[in-house]
Amino acid sequence: MSLPRIVITGVGLTAPNGDNLATFRRNLLAGVAGIERLEVRYMGQLLAGVCHYDPLKYQKKKEVRVGTRAGSISIYCAREALQDAGLDPAALVKDRTGIYIGCTEHGNVETENEIWAISKFNHDTKYWSHYHNPRTVANNPAGETSLNLGVTGPAYTIGAACAAGNLGLIHAAQMLRLGEVDVAICGGVSESIHTFGIFAGFKSQNALAVHDDPLKASRPFDLARNGIVVSEGGCLYTLERLEDALARGAKIYGEISGYCVNSDASDYVLPNPTRQAECVRKAVAHAGLRPSDIHIVNTHATATPLGDIQECEAIRSVFGEGCPETHVNNTKSFIGHCMGAAGALELAGNLPSFEDLTVHPTINVDNLDPKCALPGLVLNQPRRAAKIDAILNNSFGMLGINSTLIVRRFVP
Amino acid sequence: MTKDECKQVVLDIIADIAPDEALSNVKPDVRLRDQLELDSMDFLDIVMELRKRHGIEVPEADYPKLASLDSCAEYLTPKFNAVGAKQ
């Protein structure tokens, strides 16, 4: 059975170091990170990746007040993605447009805020906001986006821990192939920096990064790495079937070529390199490629001491030999861990490589951990490549969810 | 508190919950929903802010009394004065 080919026709994003793809990419090539100090309730100043997009570009003040940060980020990214794709939101066939947004978690921010608010009233729940439920339902970011755009097709979130950004794209590609929708707005978002819980949780796991220099704090593969920098962010794409994109003369960033989602079924938090490698191999096979055909492997590595080693073990087992043209990089070294947005943002940061034949580096590696040494690892400076035809994007999450997405240079 | 002061209190609350609205020409005798973009959740906001900021309770059966600025003043001014008298 021949399935329709699916292509990326638009990108909308906000990252801690850029609010559009051009700025984001420029900073990834120039070594510009985006981590700063953020006051976190109960905990004081911590390191975080904060986005600085203008919420009022696409929302009324009241929408910002009533809605959530994740909803606002989603709306910004969705509108930017449609504009980038040359699609007028007013002209969309509303019931044939789908919104699929990956989230690591949703509702913690709003719940913490309400508990804080009623603490000022002796925890009397009559002061609890009537907005709590619409703000905390798991579909909130997608629902707010559907309201803003007037989209009446399917709009929901996909909960997949930190693999969620890839899952948004994968699910959208599947829905387009099934003919459920004609245009998909998809990817991932995160508002996690506005909850103290995620910082406190990582700190209790001894997995929260600390560093005197915020810009050096996120340092996957470095011997002195000491944990995760939590970040917010969002990246949504417009995906279409190839024939539809060609018919309207759309710009095509790349083609969704292959993917795999699997589960470790082994631990709540510890990664499993065997299952990760299996996920990568299956995605490569699904794309009809060999490992040597992959020219960029964007790692999930979050700068935890064990997690980075385990992912490197998985990558080494697939790409360790016979892949001289495979380059390996990491985007979290610039922007921290954008949680549900991570996979989608990290893919976006690499997409321009199809055009500029340059691989952005992994920064902040002063002393490479020998256990993270990989052939093709691009350290600290961008690297020119002879060819870049396929990008493989890893995103893994707690409870052992793994996702690998492969995007190929578009060839008609 | 006078009725005019009461209307200003309500307008101050509306300014926060409906920040996109121009409030300089709100007609006191016209239903707020007929001249401003306010929905039922916004009215719950008004009720909540009266509770939080001023300790005023508005039972659900009395919500229609918040329809216009004039009706708000008529209904809320005695409540404000009763709360003030307790303090």
Select from B20, B41, B52 the Cβ nearest to the Cβ of A131.
Answer: B41
For residue A220, give how far its alpha carbon lies from the nearest alpha carbon of chain B (Å). Answer: 43
Which pLDDT band, with edges at 50, 70 and 90, does B83 fall under? confident
Q: What pLDDT is recorded for position A41? A: 97
Q: Is A396 helix (H, G, I), strand (E, B) or coil?
A: strand
Q: What pLDDT is recorded for position B85? A: 74
Q: How far is CA B60 from the centre of its chain?
A: 14
Predicted-complex ipTM score: 0.93
pTM above 0.95, yes or no: yes
Give the structural domain span for B31: 3-73
The low-confidence residues of chain A, meaning pLDDT below 70, are: none
Q: Are A191 and A69 in contact (CB under 8 A)?
A: yes
Which pLDDT band, with edges at 50, 70 and 90, does B84 fall under? confident
**pLDDT at position B18 over 90:** yes
Cα(A208)–Cα(A196) distance, rounded to whole angstroms?
Answer: 12
Residue that is written with structure tokens 């001289």 in the block: A324
Cα(B84)–Cα(B87) distance, rounded to whole angstroms?
Answer: 5
Task: State which amino acid sits at residue A373.
Answer: A
pLDDT digits (tens, 9 = 90+) for A192-238: 999 999 999 999 999 999 999 999 999 999 999 999 999 999 999 99
Residue at B80 is within a domain? no
Residue at B65 is within a domain? yes
**pLDDT at position B34 over 90:** yes
Instruction: Set out the domains of chain A in order of their start, with CATH numbers.
Output: 6-247 (3.40.47.10), 262-401 (3.40.47.10)
| Among the listed residues A157, A185, A172, the one whose alpha carbon sits nearest the alpha carbon of residue A340 | A157
CB-based contact, A126 to chain B, within 8 Å: yes
Residue at B82 is within a domain? no
Which CATH number fits the domain that encloses residue B54?
A: 1.10.1200.10
Q: Which run of H or of E encompasses B8? A: helix B3-17
Select from A62, A121, A126 the Cβ nearest to the Cβ of B19.
Answer: A62
**pLDDT at position B86 over 80:** no
The answer to whether the Cβ–Cβ distance between B48 and A129 falls below 8 Å is yes
Q: What pLDDT is recorded for position A2? A: 84
Q: Which of A300, A323, A360, A372 is catalytic?
A: A300
Is A162 among the residues known to form the active site? yes
Q: What pLDDT is recorded for position B87? A: 62
Residue at B79 is within a domain? no
Q: Which residues in chain A are closer than 8 Å to B17, comparing Cβ atoms? A: 62, 65
The answer to whether the Cβ–Cβ distance between A130 and B44 falls below 8 Å is yes
pLDDT digits (tens, 9 = 90+) for A82-112: 999 999 999 999 999 999 999 999 999 999 9
Residue at B52 is within a domain? yes
| A166: Cβ contacts below 8 Å, ≥ 6 apart | A102, A160, A188, A259, A261, A343, A344, A347, A393, A395, A403, A404, A405
Residue at B83 is within a domain? no
Q: Which residues in chain A are closer than 8 Å to B37, comparing Cβ atoms? A: 62
Task: State which amino acid sits at residue A275.
Answer: R
Number of domains in chain B: 1
Residue at B86 is within a domain? no
Residue at B12 is within a domain? yes
**Cross-strand bridge partners of residue A183:** A97, A240
Is A327 among the residues known to form the active site? no
Mutate to test the interface with A, among B41, B50, B53 (most CBs of A within 10 A): B41
